[in-house]
A and B are shown apart, each in its own frame.
Chain A
Amino acid sequence: MERNITHIALFAALIAVLGLVPKIDLISGVPITAQSLGIMLCGTVLGARRGALAVLLFLGLVAAGLPLLSGGRGGLGVFAGPSVGYLVGFPIAAFVAGLVVERWKVSIGIASFAGAVLGGIVVMHIFGIIGMSIMLGKSLTEAAMLAVPFIAGDLLKSGLAAGITRGLARARPASVLSRN
């Protein structure tokens, strides 16, 4: 019980830290915002339910006024803006990513990649695009065009999430709750 709580809280903190650190390079010279990677990892490492709770905890603190979104953003304003769809999609993305890793009994690297793509890309962008469509007064196809440039980077991030999850499974097998 205590372990569940602390893992959820620490990973919520990790999402924040991945948004607060200065830019990290995906590969040399290509900077990424690592926060969406944190969302993917909540799912792939903690599993569906705990992963989603970690993200919800994170969002609750952002809503309460802590500047934890990348770039030091936070507060209720971010939920009133065009990216609200993505914020709504975050916990669902983590849930789906976690579900794939929990249910699909292949190697954790492959399952994590699939989970990250399905949850962190497909689900997240579906919600994000719907959100932008409503808030910016555009059709779904038009809003989708705004999301497309980010997909390539997100695919690389999914690979990264898979590698990190696999590394964690080796370094701390008992702590990868999605497979325990």
Chain B
Amino acid sequence: MLTLTSPVETPLHHWPAGAKLLLVAAGTMVIFALPDWRWGLGALALIAAGYLALGQDFARTGLRLLRPLWPFLLVLAVWHLWLQEPGRGVLLASRMFAAVALANLVTMTTRLDAMMAVIQRLLTPLARFGLRPEVVALSIALVIRFVPVLLDKATQLRQSWRARSPKTAAASIILPLAVLALDDADHVAEALRARGGL
């Protein structure tokens, strides 16, 4: 399954994931402490420069990842123009984009397995409560394995619908999809038990 990691190698790809996360956490705290719109735009410009330094394609992909924020940008723009508080609006908007862009830097420069390793490490204290690391690893693997499988079944159900109706598939197909998910869960549980269980 495709991840959001950038295939184009950058120097940041080689930094350890934990270090990057700490830096982003610190950076985010700074971003949310910025006093006014000039600082906000400055932070944003700095981050944008960082992206561009890592490559044009990289920066373009980074920009694409910010697209889902446009409704919020619209809300802020309309709100603050109406309230005649443009400065605050610019601060809030640049804060929003800066924080998200900074966090995305980690995602784009860190491989899935490296992030998984960090998450597993963070979960180890929970082992005393019964959250065994092998179980966590297995669960992750199962989700990654079964998203394409269920997606394929969803597509087939949509085709079965399309074969008999000119309209878009309705929510009726969710029930048979959920049944298939439950059946897959039973089959895999059986397979696990057959191989020694957990």
Q: Do chains A and B touch in the complex (CB under 8 A)?
A: yes
Q: Give which listed residue, A25, A71, A167, contacts B169 with CB less than 8 A.
A: A25
In the assembly, what is the distance between CA of A2 and CA of B195, in Å?
A: 11
Is B193 located at the chain interface by the 8 A CB criterion?
Answer: yes
Decide: B181 and A67 in contact? CB cutoff 8 A: no
Decide: A13 and B142 in contact? CB cutoff 8 A: yes
Knowing A10-B185, A14-B150, A160-B171 are in contact, say whether A61-B100 is a contact too (CB < 8 A): no
Decide: B193 and A2 in contact? CB cutoff 8 A: yes
Interface size on B, residues (CB 8 A): 72
Interface size on A, residues (CB 8 A): 65
Q: Give which listed residue, B69, B143, B174, contacts A34 with CB less than 8 A.
A: B174
Decide: B99 and A76 in contact? CB cutoff 8 A: no
Stretch in A15-23, A90-98, A106-114 touching the partner: A15-23
A-B contact count (CB 8 A): 203
In the assembly, what is the distance between CA of A146 and CA of B198, in Å?
A: 46
Is B46 located at the chain interface by the 8 A CB criterion?
Answer: no
Decide: B174 and A9 in contact? CB cutoff 8 A: no
Is A41 located at the chain interface by the 8 A CB criterion?
Answer: yes
Question: What are the residues of chain A within 8 A of B100 when measuring CB–CB?
Answer: 77-78, 80-81
In angstroms, how far is the closest chain A Cβ from the Cβ of B187?
Answer: 8
In angstroms, how far is the closest chain A Cβ from the Cβ of B73?
Answer: 10
Decide: B142 and A2 in contact? CB cutoff 8 A: no
Closest residue of A by beta carbon distance from B76 = A136
Is A73 located at the chain interface by the 8 A CB criterion?
Answer: yes
* The 7 A-B residue pairs with the shortest CB-CB distance in the complex, in nearest-first order: A75-B107, A9-B142, A77-B104, A76-B103, A64-B115, A80-B103, A10-B185
Assuming A23-B168, A75-B104, A75-B107, what are 20 further A-B pairs, CB within 8 angstroms? A3-B189, A5-B138, A6-B189, A12-B139, A13-B146, A21-B155, A21-B158, A24-B169, A25-B168, A57-B143, A60-B119, A67-B2, A68-B147, A76-B103, A76-B106, A80-B28, A80-B100, A81-B68, A82-B96, A136-B96
